[in-house]
C-alpha cells in the first residue's frame, strides 16, 4: 500500500502500528501476518508532501515532485505513448516491482470518497465507447473495490462529497470517472501482474489535524479486509518432469488472457486472483503444446490461503531456453492494435456487485 496525501499517509502509519502491536495478541492479525508478505510505503512523493505550506481542501501544490512532475501520470501506458521524462521515484517503483512477486496493491489519495478500479485509460477494445474501460478480470476488480467501500460507511453512500460525482455503492471504474494516462494502477496490473485499485479517502485533500483519527476509525476494517483478499483464487508452482520449478512459464485462465501474459516467477510460482467458480488454466511454453488443467475455487476460501494447485508440465528441455523464448512484454501501447470487439466490452459482462494506500501483498 502507498499513500501521498495527508489522509493516506496517516492511515498507513496507523496501519503499521496496528499490525505490529496486535501481532501475537489478535488471532486474526497474527494469522494475517504469518501468511502474508505486507509491504507498506507511506509516501511515494516525499518532496510533494513537504512542499505544502498552506493546506487547502481542494488543491495542493504537493501533487508534483520536486521536478514538477505528477508521479501518477509518469508510468508507461498500455493505451497511448506517455512521452514524459521518467522520474527517479517512478523508476524506483518500477525496479522494486521486479524484485518481488506482488499480487495485490492499493494506492491512497484524497479529494473524493470512492474505490476506483482499472482501467484508468482505454480504447474501444476495452469498452471506451461505452464510457468505461474493463480488464479481463473485471469481476475480481469490482469485488475488490466493493470489499473496501462496503466497510466504509461514508464511502459506500457514494454521495458524501459536495460538488462531486455520485458513485453508486462508493465504487467506480477509473475510466468512467475520468480517463488518465500514465497511472500506476494500470501499470501494476499490466506489467507487474499485480491487481491494484485506487482509494480516494477524503473529500478534503488536507483536513485539519483533529479530523485525522476519524479517518482511521472509518477505514481500519476496510484496510484489513482488503489485505485478506490477496488470498483469493489459486496459487502454486509449475514443475518439469524431473520436479524442477519452471520460471517464466505463462499461466493464465482460458478466456481470461492478459495483454501481457502472466508468468511464473524465478521459483516457478504463479498467483491468480479469482472469484469462486470453475476455471481452466492454460499453461504455455513457446514451442510446446499448451497444458490445460481444471480448478474449482470453493465459495469459502481456506483460512488465509488461496487454493493450492501445483502443475507438472511435461517439458523435456533446458530451463534457460524458456527465458530466451519467452521475453518480457515491451512497455509500449499494447492495446492500440486490438480490434474493437473484445469480449470485455460486451454489456453482459459488466457485473454490479451490490452486497458487496500503497499496500503491496503476496
- What CATH number did the domain enclosing 277 receive? 2.60.40.1120
Which of 248, 235, 223 shows the shortest CA–CA distance to 28?
223
pLDDT tens, position by position, 107-154: 999 889 999 999 999 999 999 999 999 999 999 999 999 999 999 999
Mark which of 277, 297, 312 sits at the end of a domain.
312
Distant-in-sequence, close-in-space partners of 239: CB < 8 Å, separation ≥ 6:
245, 246, 268, 310, 311, 312, 313
If asked whether residues 162 and 182 sit together in one domain, one would say: yes
Look at residues 348, 360, 358 and name the one whose alpha carbon lies nearest to residue 139: 348
CB 283 within 8 A of CB 311: yes
Same domain for 87 and 184? yes
Number of domains in the chain: 2
46 exposure class (CB count in 10 Å sphere: 0-12, 13-18, 19+): middle
Residue linked to cell 519452471: 246
Residues 185, 278, single domain; the answer is: no
CA distance 235 to 269: 7
Q: Of 268, 288, 312, at which residue does a domain stop?
A: 312
In total, the chain counts a number of residues equal to: 362
- State whether 222 and 263 are in the same domain: no
Whether 178 and 35 map to the same domain: the answer is yes
Residues 6+ apart with CB under 8 A from 298: 276, 307
Give the position of cell 518480457. 328
State which residues form the domain around 299: 234-312
Tens-digit pLDDT profile for residues 346-360: 433 333 232 234 556
Higher pLDDT, 316 or 313: 313
24 and 148 assigned to the same domain: yes
Q: Residue 166 belongs to a domain with what CATH number?
A: 3.40.630.10
User: Cα–chain-centroid distance for residue 118?
Assistant: 8
Is residue 318 domain-resident? no
Residues annotated as catalytic are 200
**Which has more pLDDT, 342 or 127?**
127
Is the domain of 208 the same as that of 241? Answer: no
Q: How confident is the model at residue 304 (pLDDT cuts 50, 70, 90)?
A: confident
Domain annotation covers residue 347: no
pLDDT tens per residue, range 262-297: 999 999 999 999 999 999 999 998 778 899 999 999
Amino acid at each position: 500500500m502507498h499513500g501521498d496525501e495527508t489522509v493516506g499517509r496517516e492511515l498507513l502509519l496507523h496501519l503499521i502500528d496496528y499490525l505490529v502491536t496486535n501481532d501475537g495478541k489478535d488471532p486474526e492479525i497474527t494469522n494475517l501476518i504469518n501468511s502474508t508478505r505486507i509491504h507498506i510505503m507511506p509516501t511515494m512523493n516525499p518532496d510533494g508532501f513537504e512542499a505544502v505550506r498552506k493546506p487547502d481542501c481542494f488543491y495542493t501544490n504537493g501533487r508534483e515532485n520536486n521536478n514538477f512532475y505528477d508521479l501518477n501520470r509518469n508510468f508507461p501506458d498500455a493505451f497511448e505513448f506517455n512521452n514524459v521524462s521518467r522520474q527517479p521515484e517512478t523508476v524506483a517503483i518500477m525496479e522494486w516491482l521486479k524484485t518481488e512477486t506482488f499480487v495485490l496493491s492499493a494506492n491512497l489519495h484524497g479529494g473524493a470518497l470512492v474505490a476506483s478500479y482499472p482501467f484508468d485509460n482505454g480504447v474501444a477494445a476495452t469498452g471506451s465507447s461505452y464510457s468505461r474501460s474493463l480488464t479481463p478480470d473485471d469481476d475480481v476488480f469490482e469485488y475488490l473495490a466493493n470489499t473496501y467501500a462496503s466497510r466504509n460507511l461514508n464511502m459506500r453512500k457514494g454521495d458524501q462529497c459536495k460538488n462531486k460525482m455520485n458513485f453508486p455503492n462508493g465504487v467506480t471504474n477509473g475510466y468512467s470517472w475520468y480517463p488518465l494516462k500514465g497511472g500506476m494502477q494500470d501499470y501494476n496490473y499490466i506489467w507487474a501482474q499485480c491487481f491494484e485499485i485506487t482509494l480516494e479517502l477524503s473529500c478534503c485533500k488536507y483536513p485539519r489535524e483533529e479530523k485525522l483519527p476519524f479517518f482511521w476509525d472509518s477505514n481500519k476494517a476496510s484496510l484489513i479486509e482488503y489485505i485478506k483478499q490477496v488470498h483469493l483464487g489459486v496459487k502454486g508452482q509449475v514443475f518439469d518432469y524431473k520436479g524442477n520449478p519452471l520460471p517464466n512459464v505463462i499461466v493464465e485462465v482460458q478466456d481470461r488472457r492478459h495483454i501481457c501474459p502472466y508468468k511464473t516467477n524465478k521459483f516457478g510460482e504463479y498467483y491468480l486472483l479469482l472469484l469462486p467458480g470453475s476455471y481452466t488454466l492454460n499453461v504455455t511454453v513457446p514451442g510446446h503444446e499448451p497444458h490445460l488443467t481444471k480448478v474449482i475455487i470453493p465459495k469459502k476460501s481456506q483460512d488465509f490461503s488461496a487454493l493450492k494447485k501445483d502443475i507438472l508440465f511435461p517439458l523435456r528441455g533446458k530451463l534457460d531456453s524458456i527465458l530466451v523464448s519467452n521475453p518480457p512484454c515491451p512497455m509500449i501501447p499494447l492495446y492500440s492494435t486490438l480490434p474493437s470487439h473484445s469480449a470485455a466490452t460486451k454489456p453482459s459482462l459488466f457485473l454490479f456487485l451490490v452486497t458487496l494506500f500503497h499496500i503491496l501483498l503476496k
